[in-house]
Structure 1
Amino acid sequence: MPERVMIVGCWDKKIKEELFQSRMEELASLVYTSGGEVVGTVTQSRPHPDARTYIGIGKVEEVKRAIHACDADAVVFNDELTPAQVRNLDKEIGIKVIDRTQLILDIFAQRAQTREGKIQVELAQLMYLLPRLAGQGQVLSRLGGGIGTRGPGETKLETDRRHIQRRMDDLKQQLADIESHRESYRKERRKHHVVQFALVGYTNAGKSTMLNKLSGSDTFQEDLLFATLDPLTRQITLPSGYPALVTDTVGFIQDLPTTLIAAFRSTLEEVKEADILLHVVDASHPEVRAQMETVEALLKELEVDHLPVITIYNKMDMVEDPLLLPTDKEPSLRISLLEEKDIYRLLERMEQVLKDQMTYYAVSVPIADGKAIADIQQYTMVMHEKMAKTTERYEIEGYVLKEHPVHGTISKYKMNS
């Protein structure tokens, strides 16, 4: 039976009310994703959170009455609480108090499937916990008490800062070893000049569904926040027959906890290796602009905002007024992943943007030089080819990556313009 959860938010009037309501709806979605059930909502408008209890003692009394009325098991606050606020709220409210950051960490703990993902989540949880150690037993056990009680648990948090610091150092070393293996794979990709697209976007925008549609694979996809945590890479074929890789990445979210960004930096490095980013946008979401800005800010933080980006407005079948969508993002594409023709349109746009990063060539190769013909066909994007029987030569036109070794062969047989 799901835990009954009361959600609480504090609205600073410097932000639009619609954005605040969107954040509260997002918090409810996070609770649902973690396995809880929202049974009540309490909000407060104030210029800044109360230092002692986040919402002020009068509002705390209102929360206590609401908890009693709806028989809630836990309270989730739509912000990251300070250690003092957590202690005071624990004392005043008397049931489990969780903040937004811990809730997101809780979801990541559920979603992690690979060894790397599990290590990253535990490291993020410990980074969150360390500054909150204040000597109280209840604080030490907080990560054992999220919704569904996932997390490192009390057995790994049983003593003091030194124990936690040692564990963090050990996890960082394990991540460094995994990162070194990942880097060797990246070197192989770079050595063979494999083109890579990376799917980025707000959580639940449809990235995993897009990866499945593009590659024909069957990765996990569900209408939940953070359905994909571990990065997945699949091979696809563009309309010309040119092969490429597409990597799915963890979804972004407003105010993504800094501990998560730090712990998942090695995973997010996959984005840095991409040639082109595919920014997947839920075009039907009421806060589409705010979500896009969140993603763009995180890409800037990751120092990948210089890469070419195709903005893909997904879920167009659910959009009531397409005129409200941003028009300043080019290249862009409006699609519904439910339409097969839209998948092909997406592949065509990906190929066109890739061609813009490549160099056009036209060659005439003697039929006798089979290796040169094979290399050009394998390593370039062939657009036209024909065999001229009268000259016994193979004429090929296409596009090639600017620094690919096959340029040597192309130069040898380049046609006069």
Structure 2
Amino acid sequence: MSAGQLPRWVDFGLIPALNLIAAFFVSGLVVLLIGENPLEAVEILLWGSLGYGEGIGFTLFNATSFIFTGLAVAVAFHAGLFNIGGEGQAYVGGLGVAFACLALDRYVPWWVTLPFAVAGGALFGAAWALIPAWLQATRGSHIVITTIMFNFIGAALMGYLLVDVIAKPGSMQPETRTFEDGGRLPLLDNLIPGDFFGTSQVNLSLVIALICCFLVWALIWRTRLGYEIRTFGANPTAAVYAGISPVRITIVTMLISGAMAGLMAINEIMGAQHRLLIEFVAGYGFVGIAVALMGRAHPVGIVLAAILFGMLYQGGAELSFEKPAITRDMIIVIQGLVILFAGALEYMFRPALVQLFSFAGAPAGQAD
């Protein structure tokens, strides 16, 4: 281990754990200031998210969306790109999913519609990432700025389409018609014996998300393209010297990233809402940034971080119900603190740990 480096178990395990502990410690102080018991609040949060089948179902449902958006950020991150546009890419990806479902739901079963919906969500999400990628690769426009701008453009586009173009006839609601059975993914409760998950909406898209995790792992660490992506992200100058095209890597990586974000719509549109409606993304794209950072841009870490944020969403709803003094806004504050410590303050503990492990690994005479 060279100077300034840490063991992998520290980098990928201990530092995220310390960030999480710090976030919950500060959150506990906030809960204490409003006159509630932090330990009791944690107990309610854990029980609400993991204490019974329905709570677990809602936790997994939220985690599914976070896995998709976390993978989107992680793929771009390996190429040194910071894709902030997952929100817009997922939004437009919902259009591709909805088109497939609206076209096929009355004629074929769901398992025939599903491949077209997956392709539609991925293609539309990738298409929405293409222009920022091209601008970055050929014009030097910063990917952070362009993807943020495209979030707003995507929201405006979807608002127009849902009000004036594809809205349900005779309805004032900005949404499409409800899909027939051929456009609805089965719930996991319908695929396994018993009624463990209750009324939760966890559905087959969870399996699709886990398959995407494996595919991203295989792409990044087991293919030539993945090697080129990681090389370009680690040292663009060396990558160019090795014959790797920055334009190609930037555009291809962002297309894959946008496709992952677009697939998030499978969970919400085809799995839960069964129609395309306004603002269905609900911030999942932005939380995916924290999920990717906390998961160290590795699919296994992303799954664990996604479950954590799924617990915060579901357990937070239970907490605000059981403890009215802890309002929904307070839950958002707690979630924001986790994002802050996992993202903006992610390297807060690193300098001290580097010094500690450097001292511990130094020879006895040198340590003196």
TM bucket by the smaller chain?
under 0.3
Could you say which structure has the greater relative contact order, defined with CA pairs below 8 angstroms and 6 or more residues apart? 2
- The structure that has the greater radius of gyration is 1
Q: TM-score, normalised by structure 1?
A: 0.22
Q: TM-score, normalised by structure 2?
A: 0.24
Q: Report the structure, 1 or 2, having the larger helix content.
A: 2
